[in-house]
Structure formats: C-alpha cells, structure tokens
Amino acid sequence: MKVIDQINQALQQNQLNFFFYGNNSFYLDYLLKHFTKVVARTIDDTETMHLNMEKISFQNLFDELNTLPFFAEKKLVILENMLDLTAKNKAFLSEDERHTLINYLKQPNPTTIFVILIHGNADKRKKFTKEINKLSAEVKAEITDDQEISQFLTQLNSQQATPILTPAQIHLVASLSNFQLELAVNNFTQLSALAETKVITDELIRNNQIKDLTQNVFDLSKFIIKGQVGETFLLYNDLMKVAKSGELIKINGILIAQFRFLLTIQLLKQQGYSLEQMAERMKTLNGKAINPNRIRFAIRDLKQISLEFLVASEKILIETDYLMKSSAQDSQLLFETMLLKLNDLATK
C-alpha cells in the first residue's frame, strides 16, 4: 500500500523523525508493527524505548533522545500520548519545552529514530502540530478509498506460499467485509486456514464470512424494511446471545444511522442526484467518503419502501433511543416493542 511504501522510503533515506497518527486503530497498529519490523533489522529490543508522555517529564524524554545507544549504531524511541498535538484540551509541555522539542527535530541525534505516536487524529490547526508534522515523516493511518482495502488484501495474498484468491475474489472479500480493513483481514485469515484443505470458491467465501456487529445490524434493518418479522426476531435473538451489557443502545444507534442514511439517499434520489453526485454529497455531509457500493445497494433497497416509512421509522427509533437512555423501563422490552412497530409499519 502507498503508506507502507512511504515508510520504507523514509527509512531508506535515513529519516530520523516520524509522526504516526490516525483514527483507524487497527491500521495504525499494523503500520507501526511494519515499521518496527523493518527497524528491527538493525535495532534490537534492548535499544527500543516506549515512553508515555502522561507518565514522564519532558526532561526524561529529552535525555532519552540524546542518549547514545549501547549495543547498536541506532536506537528507537516511541513516544505515545502527546496530547498537545490533538484537539484535547490538555498540554504536557510548556512553551519553552515545545521550542526545545522543535529545535531537537531540526537537528536530531543521528543515533536516535524518534516516533511520535498519536492514537487518533492530530489537530493540524495548532502551530505546534504543524511544526512537528513539517519536521517529521508523516504516517497517517487512514483508508481513503475502497481500492486500498483490495490492495491490502492483494499484498497479503501475494505473501502466501501460493496465492489463495483471484483478483475478483479479493474484491468479493473486501465487499463482504463492508470495506472495513480489520474485518477484511480477519476474513482473509480465516480463508487462508480453509485453503489448506479446501478449494476457495465464491460460495465458500460467502458462507464463511465473519460479520461484525454493524453488519449484523445492517442485515437486521433489511429484514425490518421487508417486513420479515420472523427473520427479524431470529437475528435479534442471535444478537442477544452475544450482546454485552448496554449494547442494545449501541445497536439502536446503528439502526438510527442506517435509517437516516437511507432517508438521505431517498431524498437525494427524489431530487435527481446521480450515484456520483450522491457520493459527493454524502462525503460533504459526513466529512468522509462513502463506499459507492453502499449507496448502490441502498438505491436498490429503496425501490420497495416509501419516504413516509423512513420518516416514521426514524421517529420510532429516536423515541426508543430516548426512552432507553432516560427511563427506568427495560431496554430489551423497549427494543422488542420498537421492532414490532417497525415491522408493522413495513407491512402496511
């Protein structure tokens, strides 16, 4: 993938300062593991320091950056939780300490590879963040389009002794995983195990996909829309077998988001928007790109439901959400009553 290539290139060019951040925790962890694996070719564990800005002073950090390695030519210092670089209203460094760190990055210790690791997004509105980013190799854990998921799986596929998937099957796995990286990798790992004894077919891929909570709730919404009360409650009961305490509120929240998504697509459709225009509009509304396949599937599902149904359904979902959060009534009973109301609406 592009980011992996950037990391490799930066290391080949002897870059010393790195700035890792991003909201995709699975991808961030993967990129850091790749980075440390490459670095480990010349730096062993004894020369790797993990520091937490919440637990050390700036002087501790500064001393560690400037200390020479004992057993190798270079050492690795990974600093986590530098909240000064995020939108959180918390700062560990004084202005003088920030200036000192910036000056260090301008002339880093040639024997220290320094990684600043932020679990989440960096606030690039801040002058301090801009300076850190300018003086470091930026590694942003972000999937910007669905094609990157397929590229990631293609890379994993090529690393097998014998590739187990065709290009079309790679896209199928990515699509069935709702273009979520962690889920796609888990599905690929499961298929790799199956490939030891079975031939991987499209049917096998479909029958053995792992579903996360969001995907199961999407399936639940499809049953609701079609008025399939039996299937709705079968899936609901399956969810309840594995649901954690308080997760019904989360499930209801996902349903609200899905129905709101369908309602928005229905409104855009009525206004004559094309698929491409819908994708662009949804990106503006949500602040991130929406998988075009999700919009395409939504348009297909919307052929059998009305705008009035979506409006009424969203109202019921929101009312249930309010009651689940604010009343003493049993959440499970509230949720089941809501499912019956929605199925009743769908069959009218």
Give me the DSSP letters along 87-98. Answer: SSS---S-HHHH
- The confidence score (pLDDT) of residue 144 equals 67
345 contacts 232 by C-beta, under 8 angstroms? no
219 contacts 178 by C-beta, under 8 angstroms? no
Looking at the fold, whether 267 and 297 belong to one and the same domain comes out as yes
Cα 1 from chain centroid? 16
Residues 135, 131: Cα–Cα separation, whole Å: 6
201 contacts 164 by C-beta, under 8 angstroms? no
Looking at the fold, whether 151 and 130 belong to one and the same domain comes out as no
- Count of domains observed in the chain: 3
Looking at the fold, whether 192 and 98 belong to one and the same domain comes out as no
Q: Tell me the percentage of the chain whose pLDDT exceeds 90.
A: 55
Structure tokens at 229: 């009360």
pLDDT of 20 > 90? The answer is yes
Indicate the residue among 114, 140, 166 that finishes a domain: 140
41 contacts 80 by C-beta, under 8 angstroms? no
Looking at the fold, whether 311 and 285 belong to one and the same domain comes out as yes
pLDDT mean over 231-254? 86
Phi, psi angle pair for 151, to nearest 5°:
-65, -40
pLDDT of 99 > 90? The answer is yes
127 contacts 102 by C-beta, under 8 angstroms? no
CA distances from 2 to 9, 139, 214 (A): 11, 10, 28
Looking at the fold, whether 246 and 134 belong to one and the same domain comes out as no
Looking at the fold, whether 134 and 151 belong to one and the same domain comes out as no
Looking at the fold, whether 19 and 115 belong to one and the same domain comes out as yes
Specify the CATH number for the domain of residue 251: 1.20.272.10
Taken as a whole, the chain contains a residue count of: 348
pTM: 0.67
Looking at the fold, whether 170 and 59 belong to one and the same domain comes out as no
**DSSP conformation class of 196:** T
Average pLDDT taken over every residue of the chain: 89
Residues 70, 309: Cα–Cα separation, whole Å: 69
Looking at the fold, whether 155 and 112 belong to one and the same domain comes out as no
**DSSP conformation class of 201:** -
- The confidence score (pLDDT) of residue 263 equals 94
251 contacts 239 by C-beta, under 8 angstroms? yes
pLDDT mean over 321-339? 91
Dihedral sign, Cα of residue 24, residue 29, residue 32, residue 37: negative
pLDDT of 244 > 90? The answer is no
Which single residue is written with the structure tokens 């009743």?
344
Amino acid (1-letter code) at residue 126: K
pLDDT of 106 > 90? The answer is yes
Specify the CATH number for the domain of residue 51: 3.40.50.300
Looking at the fold, whether 163 and 128 belong to one and the same domain comes out as no
> Which residues make Cβ contacts (< 8 Å) with residue 43, sequence separation at least 6?
69, 72, 74, 75, 76, 113
Q: What is the domain extent for residue 160? A: 146-207
Q: Write out pLDDT tens, residues 204-215.
A: 998 888 777 888
Reduced to 3 states (helix: H, G, I; strand: E, B; else coil), residue 18 is strand
Residues 263, 306: Cα–Cα separation, whole Å: 9
What strand order describes the sheet that includes 75-80?
A: 48-52, 75-80, 112-119, 17-22, 137-140
**Strand duo 112-119 + 75-80: pairing:** parallel
Which range is least confidently modeled, 5-14, 278-287, 310-319?
Answer: 278-287
Of the candidates 161, 158, 153, the residue with the CA atom closest to the CA atom of residue 205: 153
Indicate the residue among 156, 189, 207 that finishes a domain: 207
Strand partners, 76: 48, 113
pLDDT of 1 > 70? The answer is no
Which single residue is written with the structure tokens 């290539």?
5
pLDDT of 280 > 90? The answer is no
Structure tokens at 176: 């069935």
Of the candidates 259, 283, 279, the residue with the CA atom closest to the CA atom of residue 269: 279
Looking at the fold, whether 121 and 189 belong to one and the same domain comes out as no
Of the candidates 274, 222, 281, 212, the residue with the CA atom closest to the CA atom of residue 247: 212
152 contacts 1 by C-beta, under 8 angstroms? yes
Residues 135, 116: Cα–Cα separation, whole Å: 12
Q: Write out pLDDT tens, residues 112-163.
A: 999 999 998 899 999 999 999 999 999 998 876 677 888 889 988 998 888 9
Which range is least confidently modeled, 65-74, 265-274, 280-289?
Answer: 280-289
pLDDT mean over 289-313? 84
Structure tokens at 15: 């870059």
Indicate the residue among 140, 170, 199 that finishes a domain: 140
